[in-house]
Amino acid sequence: MVSPGCDPKGLPAAPPEGARTLVGVLVLALDTATPAVTAGVVELTTAPSDPPTVRATRIAHDARKHAELLMPGVLAACAEAGVALTDLDAIVTGTGPGPFTGLRVGMVTAAALGDALDVPVHGVCSLDAIAVEAVEAPVTGNLLVLIDARRREVYWAAYDDQARRFDGPHVETPAALAARLPELGVGATAGGAAEVHAGLLGRPVLSPAAPSPAALVAVAADVLRSGAAPEPLQPLYLRRPDAVEPGARKRVSTG
């Protein structure tokens, strides 16, 4: 069996013998809101009861190299899935919250690919994708998802046991967040910062640490199946840019 590889402009090779015809959509899922540089090819059928099927995933871990690793990861995932970029029907990207520089890499990659391939790009909250996978484990009470926001803060959101977000996303110190746990009814935590602050939060830690391609597509499944036009992509920064307006002029002369 010959893999058609991932020649972006090449004609889609004939499907391997015995391969079934797609009856849904082929989605490229990206997320760079955490140190994980995530790319995956996911198939979504039209039947609402079917979970997304992962065809290939590439995850690299380097919080400083999102831009270097993402497109190679996309191509490797396409190659493994045996699809060309031009076979994709849609793109789903995490919109954060997450450290800004890395977050933008995934979002601009998704936006530019969508434009170049003429396919829709759907944004989903990255924390929602973590939640949707975390609630596969039995949870008593609500779920808190938290990831690193640098500057000794975390991005967080709270979910019920069906992964429906009821608070957040916010950015806050872990101590301030810990004080909210009773009012949020948190029974378990998930996300990259959950393990780090497990002692402070005192709740069981569930996987995953970062959004997976299947979970990103699961969050966008309804809108993907409906064929509705995507909302404009909006990054969830949750913080204003660091900048101070200059005050009074400083004197250079002494005396």
Partner 1 sequence: MSAVVLGIETSCDETGIGLVRIDEAGTATLLANEVASSVDEHARFGGVVPEVASRAHLQAMVPAVRRAMRTAGVRPRDVDAVAVTAGPGLTGALLVGVAAAKAYATAWDVPLYGVNHLAAHVAVDTLQHGPLPPALALLVSGGHSSLLDVPDLAGPVTPLGATIDDAAGEAFDKVARLLGLPFPGGPHIDRVAREGDGAAIAFPRGLTGPRDAPFDFSFSGLKTAVARHVEALERAGAPVPVADVAASFQEAVVDVLTAKAVRAARERGMDTLLLGGGVAANSRLRELAQERCDAAGLRLRVPRPGLCTDNGAMVAALGAHLLVNGAEPSPLELPADSGLPVTDVLVG
Residues near partner 1 (CB under 8 A): 7-10, 65-72, 74-75, 85-86, 100-101, 104-105, 107-117, 235, 237, 241-246, 249, 251-253
Q: Between 81 and 135, whose beta carbon lies closer to partner 1?
A: 81
Phi (first) and psi of residue 221, to 5 degrees: -55, -45
- For residue 225, the tally of other CB atoms under 10 A from its CB is 16
Q: Between 113 and 132, whose beta carbon lies closer to partner 1?
A: 113
Instruction: Kindly state the smallest distance separating residue 175's Cβ from partner 1, in Å.
Output: 26
Q: Give dist(CA 32, CA 99) in Å, integer.
A: 9
Whether residue 208 has a cis bond before it, omega within 30° of 0: yes
DSSP 3-state of 6: coil
Instruction: Kindly state the smallest distance separating residue 203's Cβ from partner 1, in Å.
Output: 33
Instruction: Kindly state the smallest distance separating residue 8's Cβ from partner 1, in Å.
Output: 4
Residues 6+ apart with CB under 8 A from 228: none
Q: Between 117 and 217, whose beta carbon lies closer to partner 1?
A: 117
Instruction: Kindly state the smallest distance separating residue 62's Cβ from partner 1, in Å.
Output: 11
Q: Between 123 and 208, whose beta carbon lies closer to partner 1?
A: 123
Q: Give dist(CA 180, CA 201) in Å, integer.
A: 10
